[in-house]
Amino acid sequence: MATATSNSSPSAQRHVGFSRRTQAPRQLDDDSPPVNKYRLLSEIMARAPYAVLERETYSDLLCDQCGSGELPEELLLCDKCDKGFHMKCVRPIVVRVPIGSWLCPNCQGGKRVRTFSQKKIIDFFGIRRSSDDANDKRSSQDAKKRRKRSRPLVLHKKKRRLLPFVPTKDPAQRLKQMGSLASALTALNLEFSDHLTYLPGMAPRSANQASLENGGMQTLSKEDMETLEKCIAMSKRGEFPPFMVVYDSREGYTVEADDLIKDMTIIAEYTGDVDYLDKREQDDCDSIMTLLLGAESSQSLVICADKRGNIARFISGINNHTQEGRKKQNCKCVRYNVNGECRVFLVATRDISKGERLYYDYNGHEYEYPTHHFV
């Protein structure tokens, strides 16, 4: 998608033709089959291929939302209606200039919500059958025994421990929650993945070494590691955190709590494809997360959730340039050293009530993500 200052032309043009009736229709017998009704022109045009005729100049282009022609480098042109929109004015806002074609919200039409049966939800998330639960219970009992070992009587400052999420007890409601996530992922042509993915041609797993981190990494304690293992085991059984993915016309896909979430609860791991930061600096993906900050830029890794991901991809960011925006934050993004590898987790920073939308700071300590136009 080019901005208003470019003069790129469409690669192909296709037009829709209509045949006109030139004679009166003949009268049909009563026994004749019913006549097929014509579709509405609006329905035809909504699905028809389109082509935009380029103007000679775009110097007089105005934003269809605010009516201003200022900041032409931030004006996006819809490839269907040829209207202009500021990246900050369109809802949901556009953070980076898209690569390739771009359609405004009016031309995109409403979001089609796909429904999933129970079997399809189980297959979509790769939920493990109950035959594997015995191993998880044994490992959980072993973890409890390890925690009961005696410790020396030394006074230390009490460290806040991570808490496991508490799944919704009602199986039908859990399916509804998973269905909302499956619908959002399907609408964006994404695959579900609850772990980091290493693909050929991208960063190998051997590159993800916490020892290369240049600061900002926390070490996951033994107790917190047990909590994490418990969360992973629950997810494999289809017992996910109680969240609903909801589409908002202003913010896009968002995540809302479907039950009470306590402070310090593990919400989700940020997952996707792992790649080198150097390869992704010119990428237009708006869901790239820092995984490893190396002393040298060639060692830095990012998580790209543009092909695969989980519910963490849909959690909204705050406008960290305003006091009102900062008040919305109820979870944080933390990078941990887990068995020598870098992992990223979202953790609740306070109690989150049912129906409350989840927000965290996209920037953390780097302040490179443009959030000053966030709602």
**Does residue 311 surpass a pLDDT of 60?**
yes
- Same domain, residue pair 167 and 122: yes
Q: Is the pTM of this model over 0.85?
A: no
CATH number at residue 182: 2.170.270.10
Q: Answer whether the bond into residue 92 is a cis peptide, omega within 30°.
A: yes
* pLDDT for the residue numbered 149: 47
Dmax of the chain from CA atoms? 100
Report the chain's mean pLDDT, rounded to a whole number: 78
- Same domain, residue pair 63 and 170: no
Whole-angstrom distance, CA of residue 73 vs CA of residue 141: 59
The more confidently predicted of residues 122 and 225 is 225
SS3 114: coil
**Does residue 10 surpass a pLDDT of 50?**
no
CB 374 within 8 A of CB 317: yes
- Same domain, residue pair 164 and 279: yes
- Same domain, residue pair 220 and 264: yes
Share of the chain above pLDDT 70, in %: 69
Domain count of the fold of the chain: 2
Which range marks the domain in which residue 100 is found? Answer: 59-110
Q: Measuring CA to CA, how many Å separate 181 from each of 58, 185, 352, 360?
A: 40, 6, 19, 19
CATH number at residue 73: 3.30.40.10
- Same domain, residue pair 198 and 318: yes
Average pLDDT over residues 20-33: 49
- Same domain, residue pair 296 and 194: yes
- Same domain, residue pair 214 and 235: yes
pLDDT tens column, 193-252? 999 999 999 999 999 999 999 877 888 889 999 999 999 999 998 899 999 999 987 788
- Same domain, residue pair 249 and 339: yes
The more confidently predicted of residues 12 and 210 is 210
Confidence of residue 139 (pLDDT cuts 50, 70, 90): low
Q: How buried is residue 50: exposed, middle or buried, by Cβ count under 10 Å (0-12/13-18/19+)?
A: middle
In a domain, residue 22? The reply is no
* pLDDT for the residue numbered 91: 76
Q: Output the six-digit token pair for 177.
A: 């929650």
Helices 118-125 and 171-187: crossing angle, nearest 10°?
Answer: 60
Q: Output the six-digit token pair for 283.
A: 């990428």
Average pLDDT over residues 74-85: 85
For residue 37, give the amino acid letter. Answer: K
* pLDDT for the residue numbered 83: 87
